[in-house]
Amino acid sequence: MPEQNTIKKLQILLPHWIEHNNNHIAEFRKWEGEAQKESELDVAQLLDKAISEMGSVGKTLSEVLEKVGGPSHGEKGHSHHH
């Protein structure tokens, strides 16, 4: 069935997307702190907004992952780097 193939692919892709999103959040936090140190408060505030929005994206991706039955068991321990 094509649907099952899509679900299986999403079970593999979604954990990577979630991890990638979390890595971006961590990087944004780092630069938000740098902007605050340099008194670039408007920049820091916008980065904080982006962090919040990325957090919402992460929650939604986690909901999708739950809906498709969680991560594929064959992919545990598999790491993917960009």
pLDDT greater at residue 57 or residue 78: 57
Q: Does pLDDT of 3 surpass 60?
A: yes
* Domain locations in the chain as residue ranges: 41-66
pLDDT > 90: what percent of the chain? 80
Strands (E), the chain: none
Tell me the residue type at 28. F
DSSP state of 82: -
For 4-15, what is the mean pLDDT? 94
Greater confidence (38 vs 4) lies with 38
Report the C-alpha gap between 29 and 31 in whole angstroms.
5
Residue pLDDT, tens place only, 18-44: 999 999 999 999 999 999 999 999 999
Angstrom CA distances, 36 to 25, 32, 39, 44, 46, stand at 16, 6, 5, 6, 11
pLDDT attached to residue 74 = 56
